[in-house]
Amino acid sequence: MAKKERFLSLRQRFYLPFKRFFDILLSFLVIVLLSPLFLVIAIIIKCSSKGPVFFKQERIGKNKKRFKIIKFRTMRTDSPKDTPTHLLDNPEIYITKIGHFLRKTSLDEIPQAFNIFAGHMSIVGPRPALWNQDDLIAERDKYHANNIKPGLSGW
């Protein structure tokens, strides 16, 4: 038991602060260096479809705390709310032209740098579940995946 406590202590003292420092540094660099790209994408979204530039959705974070994830909006504003795209009968009718490109290139994900910078997410971790995905949240409880910060990329 002492080894486990020592491991947790070392992990808490060194790994977690280093990971947070890395998250802050990398997310800050993404926000600063990609701000011209943010602006271009925002203008294209605004000019090509009605509605906001950003899409915000409630997700489950560390210890099941809810937070709003930020992405570039890739779907029409009349699309079903809080439903994963893969569960829609015909998702293609809801995705905008620029949305197809943003999803294909994963550029719709870069505003999550703000979530990482704010401490809601990490660079690496399990993808955040939707607030209403009870089965997924329960499954993650089995593996303690709800006890760590969700990530932009990871498992």
Check whether 83 has a pLDDT greater than 80. no
Query: pLDDT of 14-72, one tens digit each?
Result: 888 899 999 999 999 999 999 999 999 999 999 999 999 999 999 999 998 999 999 99
CA–CA gap between residue 140 and residue 134 (Å, rounded): 10
- Conformation bin of residue 76: beta by default, left when phi > 0, alpha when psi is -120 to 50: beta
2 in any annotated domain: no
Q: Which domain holds residue 126?
A: 21-153
Structural domain total, the chain: 1
Mean pLDDT of the chain: 88
Q: Per DSSP, what are the bridge partners of residue 68? A: 58
pLDDT reported for residue 109: 95
12 in any annotated domain: no
8 in any annotated domain: no
14 in any annotated domain: no
Give the pTM. 0.84
16 in any annotated domain: no
For residue 89, what pLDDT band results from cuts at 50, 70 and 90?
A: confident
